Chain A
């Protein structure tokens, strides 16, 4: 795929053939060779052919080959003329990350790290087909789908301030449980409060380094502070919503007045009946995911208090922020100086709204939105902040993680004969896991070094480094 280098952080795929806009990828000389070996750049170009796309088909430095849309892709479509695509959101609708800060330091938990790891592993169901302690009636499930995190808070699993510090307040407008199939509802009925498998995790960690004291202070982060970071999504309910609507839109694709370069890019015009119904179902699944992460944080909080025998006041656990990185959202952006209503697809990309934006909660508005970028289980994760430049260049978006380097098979082969959990322990990280091959598939070397990814977005100015977190305990499915 031919491209031009724009500057040290960006390349551009020129508009050719059916492309309606160019492709633009944030990357670096270090990351580019991995990217060129895959079909991810072709996928960036394919997305650029979809109707209503505005400015450019974008990709963040953690881009890797997805199905249809690349993972790490950002594409904004005009609400009137553009499309909505389930593949542009991904199967795990509102897969996202949540960070909580505590009043604890390493000294407070050091003597009980092993016990804490065991207790968190027991309290947070993980792995394939795991079921949660929350048993939803049909009417409660519908409330979850419309109220999101608020439902969990009203059930006593969190506080009102958690909602302020969650993207969209933990509930997206426009959700309609009636647009969610019975199959999807069945898959989600007993999975609330479960982590899932694959790259989902719960980590207890430490604030290892501060890069921006002002922003860190505003976010309530200080060096040496114990944190809880978790990564999960909408579980089977979200996967099924995506699958249902991909199937529907694939069947209708032959009626569209344009040719799809890949079936997985199936879509509908946002203004169409199918497009609106998918958006309503996606929003419902997103709300389920926010409730899920709210419950997971509640389980972590209860476990910390029990194992450490401390009160809520001693723990002082508060949600720093919760971000989604698989979503399509209705947003207003300036395009060539004019405000436009857009549907921004972020698939493996994080919103990074800058200072002063009305959608950033009041407490953080002066510095910009917190952005949570987890790395692999053996290294570190980052807290960034959104910037004005992201608003100008990327529809207020940035990276979402490290991005895989190796396929799962290659990672398993690479790890053969190694005791990954012992290697992690020697680096001060206690790991608990469920799946037979989880640790091998998720080994650090299977991912890019997240600091290489973060350096690109920091240098490009589409988000800025605030703090780095180091894992102490990792729980995986």
Chain B
């Protein structure tokens, strides 16, 4: 599994690992979606571009996941990211598919209220990349 849930008393914390920086952002988006619902049940949808900016990598990771969460909580769309188009330390742009959330088809696992800055990090780890994010639930 590219991410694991780690212990945090009140909330959910996830540690995400990938071989590349692009992979880290891709896996982090996937981790958030799989905390919300079963990604295997998502089908169809419309193409969407997701962008985010940040002061540094950790800030960028938080803002990136905020954007993905925002699609769900504001517009009722689950976004599956298919590829990272461009990535710098302070900006990311990606292509994905936005699938309308259907409570009859899609189970809801967690109410993720927000992506927090608490202990947020996104950095090189050995030969790969690692991020840690605490979600408020």
Tell me the nearest residue of chain B to A66, going by C-beta. B10
In the assembled complex, the CB of B113 is this many whole angstroms from the nearest CB of chain A, namely 4
A262 touches B118 (CB 8 A): yes
In the assembled complex, the CB of B67 is this many whole angstroms from the nearest CB of chain A, namely 11
- Binding-face segment, B15-23, B91-99, B104-112: B104-112
Let me know if A187 is at the binding interface, CB within 8 A: yes
As a 0/1 sequence over residues 1 to 27 of chain B, the CB contacts with chain A under 8 angstroms (1 = contact) are: 000010111111000000000000000
Let me know if A129 is at the binding interface, CB within 8 A: yes
Expressed in whole angstroms, the Cα–Cα distance for A129 and B70 within the complex equals: 13
B117 touches A266 (CB 8 A): yes
Q: Which residues from chain B contact A436 at a C-beta distance below 8 Å? A: 107-109
Let me know if B63 is at the binding interface, CB within 8 A: yes
Tell me the nearest residue of chain B to A238, going by C-beta. B113
Let me know if B74 is at the binding interface, CB within 8 A: yes
A128 touches B114 (CB 8 A): no
Known A-B contacts A68-B118, A477-B111; A408 and B66 likewise in contact (beta carbons under 8 Å): no
Expressed in whole angstroms, the Cα–Cα distance for A397 and B5 within the complex equals: 34
Tell me the nearest residue of chain B to A262, going by C-beta. B118
Q: Which residues from chain A contact B7 at a C-beta distance below 8 Å? A: 407, 409-410
Expressed in whole angstroms, the Cα–Cα distance for A68 and B120 within the complex equals: 11
Let me know if A183 is at the binding interface, CB within 8 A: yes
Expressed in whole angstroms, the Cα–Cα distance for A404 and B120 within the complex equals: 22
Tell me the nearest residue of chain B to A184, going by C-beta. B74
Expressed in whole angstroms, the Cα–Cα distance for A196 and B112 within the complex equals: 11
A187 touches B136 (CB 8 A): no
Q: Which residues from chain A contact B134 at a C-beta distance below 8 Å? A: 67
B74 touches A187 (CB 8 A): yes
Q: Which one of A187, A409, A410, A437 contacts B73 once the chains associate, using CB atoms below 8 Å?
A: A187
Expressed in whole angstroms, the Cα–Cα distance for A67 and B12 within the complex equals: 11
Q: Which residues from chain B contact A407 at a C-beta distance below 8 Å? A: 7-10
As a 0/1 sequence over residues 158 to 177 of chain A, the CB contacts with chain B under 8 angstroms (1 = contact) are: 00000000000000000000
Tell me the nearest residue of chain A to B75, going by C-beta. A186
Q: Which residues from chain A contact B119 at a C-beta distance below 8 Å? A: 67, 262
B66 touches A243 (CB 8 A): yes
Expressed in whole angstroms, the Cα–Cα distance for A183 and B114 within the complex equals: 13
B136 touches A246 (CB 8 A): no
A65 touches B10 (CB 8 A): yes
Let me know if A406 is at the binding interface, CB within 8 A: yes
As a 0/1 sequence over residues 24 to 66 of chain A, the CB contacts with chain B under 8 angstroms (1 = contact) are: 0000000000000010000000000000000000000000111
In the assembled complex, the CB of A94 is this many whole angstroms from the nearest CB of chain B, namely 14
Tell me the nearest residue of chain A to B7, going by C-beta. A407
Q: Which one of B10, B66, B110 contacts A71 once the chains associate, using CB atoms below 8 Å?
A: B10
Tell me the nearest residue of chain B to A34, going by C-beta. B9
A247 touches B66 (CB 8 A): yes
Q: Which one of B10, B113, B115 contacts A64 once the chains associate, using CB atoms below 8 Å?
A: B10
Expressed in whole angstroms, the Cα–Cα distance for A437 and B5 within the complex equals: 15
A243 touches B9 (CB 8 A): no
Tell me the nearest residue of chain B to A348, going by C-beta. B10
Q: Which residues from chain A contact B111 at a C-beta distance below 8 Å? A: 127-129, 196-198, 435, 477
List residues of B whose CB falls within 8 A of some A CB. 5, 7-12, 55, 58-59, 63, 66, 70, 73-74, 76, 101, 103, 107-111, 113-120, 134, 136-137
Besides A262-B119, A264-B116, A408-B11, 12 more A-B contacts (Cβ < 8 Å) are A38-B9, A66-B118, A71-B10, A91-B114, A91-B136, A129-B108, A246-B117, A247-B66, A250-B117, A406-B9, A407-B9, A408-B12
Can you report 6 residue pairs joining A to B where beta carbons are below 8 Å apart?
A: A67-B119, A68-B117, A129-B103, A247-B63, A407-B9, A477-B111
